[in-house]
């Protein structure tokens, strides 16, 4: 009797050492690359770079490790020829054609791109292309990271597991930018040190698009589907002249900003993400600003308030923070390789457990 080969989806298991390709080696990608190399049960087989200057470089040079004898490529054909189990996809911009080609070739994807947190929030055409590619290749794709991801999905879902009534889940993110020596970003793009003005629509819509799907996913998971996602911003003005790493903030200029993405149900806010970015706490009106990190408050029948701070000197923050995003993606690889084909959310996958053996 001749046996029929089962489909890839039917035989999905967790490979002991999934064969991985790191895609892009920017700030987050370089940290992810290093984590894959050092991971006891992941096998790095390739690195894709978007800069021609990096093509041909030993990948150890791209992430601050000794030479390992593996060189980077800028050819998609090279990546597909390697037939990896998973690509850890971290480019600065999404290229749907690349993603479709990888998935159709039988390569799973873990990404820190935010387009895939909730399929129903995706552009209809893009979602259709990705789902067809997953079906054709027997593959899955999952978006994760620190924020959104860990703080907007993993933590709220855990905290809500001991509730039988939830009135509000409030997530506050805090970022002290006083030691960030990036004047073009802080003054030119974000508007710190300038006059108080309305937030540009593109900034508000960017946060709605980044965090709205994640909030909707959690709300639906606990049975409280949202009617809408609203967004608004506000600023705090400095009460005195302040010197920061990027320059000087005049008295009465923008020293802090807060953007709120609110999930609404029956006219009431039931889940909220609020970004609190500040260069000084000396502002009017006064805000309760914590050190860099997060506060998650659950108002329900088992009320909770959890503060998660990053115990790092501000001068060393840039060295450490990429790991908060990159590590969760690397830890998700074996779970995504074992998942059924499709766009897989935090609800579809098991809890992401780090393998530190």
pLDDT of residue 6: 38
Can you name the residues that pair with 142 across neighbouring β-strands?
A: 110
The percent of residues in the chain predicted with pLDDT above 70, rounded, is 96
- Residues 181-204 have a mean pLDDT of 91
- How far apart CA 160 and CA 154 sit, in angstroms, is 10
Can you name the residues that pair with 249 across neighbouring β-strands?
A: 242
Q: DSSP assignment, residue 184?
A: I
Boundaries of every domain in the chain:
19-147+322-343, 163-301
Residue 221 pLDDT greater than 80, yes or no? yes
- The answer to whether the CB of 46 falls within 8 A of the CB of 74 is no
pLDDT of residue 199: 86
- Residues 146-170 have a mean pLDDT of 98
Residue 346 pLDDT greater than 50, yes or no? yes
The tokens of 260 are what? 């709120």
Residue 5 pLDDT greater than 90, yes or no? no
- How far apart CA 212 and CA 109 sit, in angstroms, is 22
- Residues 142-157 have a mean pLDDT of 98
Give the orientation angle of helix 96-104 with respect to helix 124-137, to 10 degrees: 20
Mean pLDDT over the full length of the chain? 94
pLDDT of residue 12: 47
- The answer to whether the CB of 63 falls within 8 A of the CB of 33 is yes
Residue 291 pLDDT greater than 90, yes or no? yes
- The CA-atom distances, in angstroms, between 254 and each of 16, 199, 259 are 51, 12, 14
pLDDT digits (tens, 9 = 90+) for 236-289: 999 999 999 999 999 999 999 999 999 999 999 999 999 999 999 999 999 999
Q: DSSP assignment, residue 69?
A: S
More reliable by pLDDT, 65 or 200: 65
In the sheet that holds 283-284, the strands lie side by side as: 283-284, 228-238, 254-265, 268-278, 166-176, 293-300, 304-309
Q: How many residues does the chain have?
A: 357
pLDDT of residue 16: 64
The percent of residues in the chain predicted with pLDDT above 90, rounded, is 90
Direct distance between the N- and C-terminal alpha carbons of the chain, in angstroms, rounded to an integer: 42
Distance of CA 109 to the CA centre of its chain: 14
- Residues 50-63 have a mean pLDDT of 96
pLDDT of residue 8: 42
Residue 315 pLDDT greater than 90, yes or no? no
Give domain 19-147+322-343's CATH superfamily: NAD(P)-binding Rossmann-like Domain (3.40.50.720)
- Which of these ranges, 42-51, 191-200, 214-223, has the smallest mean pLDDT? 191-200
- How far apart CA 128 and CA 41 sit, in angstroms, is 33
Q: Nearest 10 degrees: CA dihedral of 260, 304, 266, 211?
A: 30
Residue 3 pLDDT greater than 60, yes or no? no
Q: Give the residue among 258, 168, 273, 150 at the shortest CA–CA distance from 211.
A: 273
pLDDT digits (tens, 9 = 90+) for 159-191: 999 999 999 999 999 999 999 999 999 999 999
The β-bridge relationship of strands 304-309 and 140-143 is unpaired
* Global pTM value: 0.92
pLDDT of residue 314: 86
- Residues 217-231 have a mean pLDDT of 98
- How far apart CA 280 and CA 278 sit, in angstroms, is 6
């Amino acid at each position: 009797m001749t046996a029929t080969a089962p489909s890839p989806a039917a035989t999905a298991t967790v490979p002991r050492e999934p064969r991985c390709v790191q895609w892009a080696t920017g700030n987050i990608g370089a940290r992810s690359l290093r984590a894959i190399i050092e991971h006891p049960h992941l096998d790095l087989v390739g690195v894709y770079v978007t800069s021609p200057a990096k093509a041909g470089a030993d990948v150890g040079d791209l992430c601050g490790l000794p030479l390992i004898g593996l060189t980077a490529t800028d050819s998609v054909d090279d990546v597909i020829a390697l037939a990896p189990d998973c690509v850890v996809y971290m480019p600065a911009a999404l290229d749907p054609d690349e993603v479709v080609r990888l998935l159709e070739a039988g390569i799973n994807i873990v990404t820190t791109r935010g387009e895939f947190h909730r399929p129903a929030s995706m552009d209809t055409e893009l979602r259709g292309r990705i789902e067809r590619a997953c079906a054709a290749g027997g593959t899955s794709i999952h978006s994760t990271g620190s924020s959104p991801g860990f703080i907007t999905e993993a933590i709220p879902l855990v905290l809500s597991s001991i509730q039988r009534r939830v009135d509000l889940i409030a997530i506050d993110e805090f970022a002290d930018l006083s030691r960030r020596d990036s004047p073009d970003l802080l003054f030119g793009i974000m508007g710190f040190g300038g006059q108080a003005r309305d937030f540009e629509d593109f900034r508000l819509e960017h946060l709605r698009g980044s965090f709205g799907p994640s909030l909707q996913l959690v709300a639906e998971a606990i049975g409280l589907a949202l009617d809408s996602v609203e967004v608004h911003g506000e600023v705090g003005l400095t009460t005195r002249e302040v010197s920061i790493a990027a320059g000087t903030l005049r008295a009465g200029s923008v020293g802090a900003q807060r953007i709120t993405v609110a999930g609404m149900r029956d006219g009431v806010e039931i889940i909220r993400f609020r970004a609190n970015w500040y260069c000084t706490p000396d502002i009017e009106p006064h805000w309760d600003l914590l050190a860099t990190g997060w506060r998650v408050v659950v108002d329900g029948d088992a009320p909770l308030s959890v503060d998660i701070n990053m115990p790092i000197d501000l001068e060393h923050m840039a060295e450490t923070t990429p790991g908060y995003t990159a590590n969760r993606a690397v830890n998700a690889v074996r779970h995504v390789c074992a998942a059924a084909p499709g766009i897989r959310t935090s609800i579809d996958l098991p809890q992401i457990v780090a393998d530190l053996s």
